[in-house]
Amino acid sequence: MIIKPDAVSRNAIGAILKRVEDRGFKVRQMRMTRFTREEAIRFYAVHRGQPFFDGLIDFMSSGPVVPLALERENAVSNLREIVGATDAAKAAEVTIRKHFGTNIPRNAVHASDSPETATGEIAFFFGEQV
């Protein structure tokens, strides 16, 4: 998971972490960093060529982010359930994106979309140490 620049600037790190921990996740790794444009382009390489790509890169490199390595059973599906839909304005009422996000791309958090993606994304931020 990544707490995105909009949520960090809204002082929502603690509130988001509480929701995640209350859902039964263990925080295994966490740090604060800031994407360079090059790192954001590499992280979101799968979206290269999309019309929203440049805006996404601008947004993700606009301020600090908090990447986390999280652990629990069925982590990907459980996290995506409490995170909510990509467009924060349309996300379900009780979700993290509805509460802390605004729209797309300002949707408060990133959540890995499969265990394989999660492994690669965790390595991106924390190396192979997790």
The site for ligand GDP (CB under 6 A) is made up of: 52, 55-56, 86, 104-105, 107, 110, 113
Catalytic member of 16, 110, 111, 125: 110
Indicate the residue among 16 and 128 with the shorter CB distance to ligand GDP.
Answer: 16
Residues 6+ apart with CB under 8 A from 73: none
Query: Which among 123, 96, 113 is positioned nearest to 6, based on CA atoms?
Result: 96
The answer to whether 110 is a known catalytic residue is: yes
Task: Determine the 3-state secondary structure of 27 from DSSP.
Answer: strand
Q: Which residues pair with 112 in a beta bridge?
A: none
Residue in the shown chain whose Cβ atom is closest to ligand GDP: 105
Q: How far is the CB of 2 from ligand GDP (least distance, A)?
A: 9
Catalytic residues: 110
